[in-house]
């Protein structure tokens, strides 16, 4: 019976893959039945179920999985990979279960409607619109920087502990849910990753554990970056699986936060995306706007770059390439380059806000 069950599970792996390929063509179906109806309910149950734990259950599960995978390979080497028919079926059966759990618990969100359609805004913009938004973000970033720093040449230092930053991150979602009910966050499960040091060398700020619904933050990163990183991971928890969409939601939450340090983190986060895109489109305008920035803002950017440079290693490109491939497989055709889509969301969001006023 056990052997028969393994064969059935192994057979279901390609069936699931075909089903996912089919479902990808019906984003409205995913949006209405999974992302808006089913996922919010059982994701809250998962967060309420173990969000109270002071440690990351998901990281412990990853550790256990790693040990089991290592043990599996050791056994295969000892057996000199004999009885391949059995262990191949065994491996495919396990992959089938993991693949199913990944999609049921969270992964179907990759195939929902693009966020600009859900928000009913455009996803294109002109260079002039980008330039205008960059001007707005620079003005607000400079204003906040002047408020929070001793002078315009020093970086802003967030005075909160990491636990306080996490609490304030959740407050940001409570605040923004008044205007965006779909961003209501209940059943908090925002945690420090047990693997923060390895994550730093892999080049990642954080991640969502799809099997437990926990938002994991790399707390080794520069504190100035933690508000947007934590907000980004909560965006994933709320069902916005794509990186660019979670970045946009992180901007919304932090830029509208009642705390000035969070607003500074959010505005300069959004500004960096816009300036990068402006540099690609019009280097001359980029240089003109860059000159308007307080030097202290550039210092904050430099601190972040120095952190990542200090953690560079020969394996980082491998991890980045693997993640890029993961994004492409999961309905993000441009891979990590798709992050630039956040600029389109920002430009059109601000345009809609301006029209409403």
pLDDT, tens digit (0-9, with 9 covering 90-100), for 238-269: 999 998 999 999 999 999 999 999 999 999 99
Number of domains present in the structure of the chain: 2
Token pair, residue 248, equals 């946009």
Is the pLDDT score of 291 beyond 70?
yes
Is the pLDDT score of 354 beyond 70?
no
pLDDT at 1: 46
The residue among 318 and 209 whose pLDDT is bigger is 209
**Residue 100 shares a structural domain with residue 143:** no
pLDDT at 123: 83
**Residue 287 shares a structural domain with residue 235:** yes
Rounded CA Rg of the chain? 22
Most confident listed range (116-120, 182-186, 319-323, 327-331): 182-186
| Residue range 153-181: mean pLDDT, rounded | 94
pTM of the model: 0.91
**Residue 78 shares a structural domain with residue 148:** no
**Residue 18 shares a structural domain with residue 152:** no
Is the pLDDT score of 79 beyond 90?
no
Is the pLDDT score of 68 beyond 80?
yes
Indicate the average pLDDT of the chain: 89
Is the pLDDT score of 356 beyond 90?
no
Is the pLDDT score of 154 beyond 90?
yes
Owning domain of residue 132? 115-356
Last residue of a domain, one of 58, 88, 111: 111
**Residue 49 shares a structural domain with residue 180:** no
3-class SS at 84? Answer: helix
| Helix (H), strand (E), coil (C) string for 12-43 | HHHHHHHHHHHHCCCHHHHHHHHHHHHHHHHH
**Residue 95 shares a structural domain with residue 149:** no
**Rounded distance between C-alpha atoms, residue 254 and residue 232, angstroms:** 10
**Residue 201 shares a structural domain with residue 160:** yes
pLDDT at 130: 93
Percentage of the residues of the chain whose pLDDT score is greater than 70: 91
**Residue 227 shares a structural domain with residue 328:** yes
Residue 282, Cβ density class (10 Å: 0-12 exposed, 13-18 middle, ≥19 buried): middle
The residues near 258 (Cβ < 8 Å, ≥ 6 apart) are 171, 172, 175
pLDDT at 336: 47
Comparing CA positions, the residue from 232, 230, 189 lying closest to residue 43 is 189
The residue among 78 and 299 whose pLDDT is bigger is 299
Of 71-85, 137-151, 201-215, 222-236, which gets the smallest average pLDDT? 71-85
**Residue 156 shares a structural domain with residue 203:** yes
| Residue range 102-117: mean pLDDT, rounded | 93
pLDDT at 74: 87
Q: List phi, psi (to 5°) of 111.
A: -110, 15
| Residue range 320-331: mean pLDDT, rounded | 51
pLDDT at 318: 52
The residue among 315 and 244 whose pLDDT is bigger is 244
Last residue of a domain, one of 94, 111, 128: 111
**Residue 217 shares a structural domain with residue 136:** yes
- Hunting for tokens 């979670």 — which residue is that? 246
Is the pLDDT score of 136 beyond 90?
yes
pLDDT at 90: 86
Assign 350 a pLDDT band (cuts: 50, 70, 90).
Answer: confident
pLDDT at 338: 52
**Residue 12 shares a structural domain with residue 52:** yes
pLDDT at 189: 94
């Amino acid at each position: 019976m056990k052997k028969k069950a393994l064969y059935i599970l192994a057979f279901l792996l390609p069936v699931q893959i075909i089903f996912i390929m089919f479902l990808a063509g019906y984003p409205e179906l995913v949006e209405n039945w999974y992302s808006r109806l089913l996922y919010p309910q059982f994701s809250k149950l998962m967060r309420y179920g173990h969000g109270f734990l002071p440690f990351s259950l998901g990281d412990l599960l990853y550790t256990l999985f790693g040990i089991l995978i290592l043990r599996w390979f050791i056994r295969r080497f000892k057996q000199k990979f004999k009885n391949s028919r059995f262990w191949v079926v065994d491996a495919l059966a396990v992959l089938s279960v993991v693949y199913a759990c990944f999609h049921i618990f969270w992964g179907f969100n990759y195939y929902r409607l693009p966020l600009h359609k859900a928000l009913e805004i455009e996803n294109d913009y002109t260079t002039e619109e980008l330039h205008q938004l960059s001007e707005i973000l620079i003005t607000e970033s400079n204003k906040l920087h002047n408020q929070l720093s001793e002078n315009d040449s020093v970086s802003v230092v967030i005075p909160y502990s990491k636990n306080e930053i996490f609490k304030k991150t959740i407050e940001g979602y409570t605040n923004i849910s008044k205007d965006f009910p779909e961003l209501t966050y209940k059943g908090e499960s925002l945690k420090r990753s047990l693997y923060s040091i390895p994550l730093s060398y892999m080049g990642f700020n954080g991640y969502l554990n799809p099997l437990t619904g926990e938002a994991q933050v790399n707390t080794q990163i520069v504190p100035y970056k933690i508000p947007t990183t934590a907000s980004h991971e909560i965006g994933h928890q709320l069902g916005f699986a794509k990186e660019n969409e979670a970045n946009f939601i992180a901007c919304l939450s932090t830029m509208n936060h009642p705390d000035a340090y969070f607003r500074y983190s959010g505005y300069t986060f959004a500004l960096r995306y816009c300036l990068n895109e402006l540099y690609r489109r019009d280097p001359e305008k980029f240089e003109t706007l860059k000159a308007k920035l307080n030097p202290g803002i550039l210092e904050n950017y430099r601190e972040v770059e120095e952190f990542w440079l200090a953690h560079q290693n020969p394996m980082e490109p491998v991890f980045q390439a693997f993640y890029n491939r993961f994004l492409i497989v999961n309905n993000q055709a441009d891979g990590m380059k798709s992050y630039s889509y956040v600029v389109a969301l920002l430009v059109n969001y601000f345009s809609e806000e301006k029209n409403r006023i």
